[in-house]
Amino acid sequence: MEQVVYVVDDDQGMLDSTVWLLESVGLKALPFISGREFLDACDPSLNACVLLDVRMPGMGGLNVQEAMRTRDIDLPVIFVSGHADVPIVVRAFKAGACDFIEKPYNEQLLLDSVQQALGSLGERRSDSRGQDALQERLNALTPRERDVFLPLVQGYTNREIAEQLSISVKTVDLYRMRVMKRMQAERHADLVGMAIAAGLVDPLNLRANVPASMAG
């Protein structure tokens, strides 16, 4: 997917030079002279990050960052400012900024920060897709399969599960195989890792007969 950098700066000269720098290394740069223009045009589905000036007339960078949050625009933000006083920096990072670079900036420092931000976005989206796929598999379990799945990952034996559910050990074994197949797990350890990832079990409270390696 094409990598895009939104550049938001009310200084036209700085805006033009930043766009040129980014395009010189093969990135697509989309310039905006105001925060409102950027917010109206922003596509959160792009593989993008935002270079955002802190001090702009009308709507400053921190306000733009807050508007992004309320609009569910989950793109990495790098602040660029010639006035990097400590309270502003602290506030920006607390609100989730990736980096804060002072003007006039070092070109390589800026490029490195942009590449790191784009890389972190890819990782976040990959993790999100993995979680969605895991949740779909969990939702596909039948009530009885889920009844077997939970004690199974907690470390109970087939016999103990059979006693808990008042069914035969052979039936538990059958459900166990169905759960493994439906969850696309090759080993019991894979099931445990999925349950931990989904927040269904606490890795610190697994039964002693579950090896630590099965916890992830």
Give residue 208's pLDDT.
52
> What pTM does this model have?
0.58
Q: pLDDT class for 12, splitting at 50, 70, 90?
A: very high
The residue to which tokens 């997917």 are assigned: 1
Give pLDDT, residue 214. 35
Convert the pLDDT of each residue in 132-141 to its tens digit: 777 788 888 8
Structural domains of the chain sorted by starting position, each given as residue range(s) with its CATH number in brackets: 4-125 (3.40.50.2300), 129-198 (1.10.10.10)
H-assigned helices in the chain: 12-24, 35-41, 61-70, 86-94, 107-140, 143-154, 158-165, 169-182, 188-197
